[in-house]
Structure 1
Amino acid sequence: MKNIEVVAAVIKKQDKIFVTKRGYGEFLNMWEFPGGKIEKGETREQALKREIKEELELDINVDKFLTTIDYDYSNFHLTMHCFMCTVNGGKLHLNAHNEVKWITLEEKDKLNWVPADIKVLKEL
């Protein structure tokens, strides 16, 4: 089975977390924490800052490691390293998503999540 290693940002502001709705691929229109693949030579933190800049045009601080999630999809194994983050600049523009929102943890069950991201929610 193919292994894919990614990073994800749990961006927090007061009591809310930032979530994105996928605008492409197998999980189109499902909610997730933004992020992406680690490129050769990058640290996890560098990859996360780059991915958020590419996808959302936001600058972030990677504040602390949260968890690593392993999840088996039907055609690949995902390892997702998740970090707590804060926005420190940029202007939001959706390059890979079709919607974003700030939610409280109480609102999480109202959204249709990408399966691996459900495990991240349990860590919050």
Structure 2
Amino acid sequence: MKKVNVVAAIIFSGDCIFATQRGYGEFKDYWEFPGGKIEFGESPEEALVREIREELDADIEVLDFVLDLEWQYPSFYLYMSCYKCVLRSDYTLLEHEDGRWLGKDELDSVNWIDADVIVVDYLKDNM
């Protein structure tokens, strides 16, 4: 079984968190926290800064580690590290269909990718 190591940005602005809707692939139309695969030789934080630049054409500041999670999908095993971040520039959606700032009471208003539901549940308890 293929193992995939990824990082995800939990981007805060005030009491809201930024979520993105995938525009491609197996999970098209599902919502996620932006991020992606860690490349060889990168730290998780470096990978996150690079991925947000690639996906959102934006600069972020990685503030704190939030949580690690593991999830078994039918075709791969996911290991995801999540970090609290803030935007340091404007953004442009380059790979996603949509992006939204969601308050705690709005987190269940979108259809999250399975693994990201764990993050959402954590945030609802800890925001």
Pair in the same fold by TM > 0.5: yes
Q: CA deviation at 1:50?
A: 0.2
Deviation at 1:122, TM superposition (A): 1.6
Deviations 1:25-70, CA, capped at 9 Å, x for gaps:
0110110000000001100000000000000011000000000010
Q: For this pair of structures, how many residues does the alignment match?
A: 123
TM-score (norm 1): 0.97
Counterpart in the other structure of 1:9:
9
Segments of 5+ residues of structure 1 without an aligned counterpart are none
Counterpart mapping for 1:103-118 below 5 A:
103-118=102-117
Match of 2:96 in 1: 97
Deviation at 1:110, TM superposition (A): 1.4
One-letter amino acid of the counterpart of residue 7, structure 2: V
- Counterparts of 2:39 and 2:93, CA distance in 1: 21
Matched letter for residue 108 of structure 2: D
Q: Considering only aligned residues, what root-mean-square deviation do their CA atoms show, in Å? A: 0.7
Q: TM-score, normalised by structure 2?
A: 0.95
CA–CA distance in structure 1, aligned partners of residues 73 and 104 of structure 2: 25
Measure, in 2, the Cα distance between the counterparts of 1:43 and 1:93: 24
> Runs of 5+ in structure 2 lacking a partner?
none
Q: Percent identity?
A: 47
Give the 5 Å matches for 1:1-124: 1-89=1-89, 91-124=90-123
